[in-house]
Structure 1
Amino acid sequence: MMNEKGFTLIEMLIVLLVISILLIITVPNITKHQSTIQTKGCEAFSKMVQAQVEAYQIDHNKLPAGVAELKTEGYLKETTCPNGSAVTIDTGGQVSVSDNGGK
């Protein structure tokens, strides 16, 4: 028979075994830290919204009435944190996050 180059069935099974072991190790680790990841994502989102409030204020010489106005003007695509918490802007232009979200 000709010498054909390629992977044998055993080699493919070994590669699949290694990939499976890596998935078994990483998936539980990610799910265990999901709340921490979402909390950090919410903190980063609120800082980004604060920056967009300041950009809006520079462009329009006034503070936005709320997060909805930032969205309609194109400053934001989303109005809630990754964990579902609502973001609000007070009359002084400070961004805050409510704790009623969470999945």
Structure 2
Amino acid sequence: MQLPTAVEALSALAHSSRLAAFRLLVRAGADGVAAGDIAREIGALPNTLSTHLTILGSAGLITSQRKGRSVIYSADYDGMRDLLGFLVADCCGGQPAICGSLGDLASKADCRP
């Protein structure tokens, strides 16, 4: 990941509603969540949520697909991994003991299949 792409992704996450929507989609897994359900869950107005989802999509953090009359949004796990990889690529100046185990941190996450 290049610096401009990372900045765009971090900027997209730097808003409480967008971060809440992204975290909801990460928890939801591959099945995703309908736009209306996202709005209800995070307490956003539908038109405002649409803007937030567009920003997250443009940043490569979420994807969408139409199913009937609904639009289903899902986290883009490849984009998320790229961003996380960018953030830790130069971790701790070659001294991993400073950062601790990122694997341990990931294992404590509430990951669902």
With structure 2 as the length reference, what TM-score do the two structures score? 0.26
Larger Rg: 1
Greater relative CO, 1 or 2 (CA 8 Å, sep 6+): 2
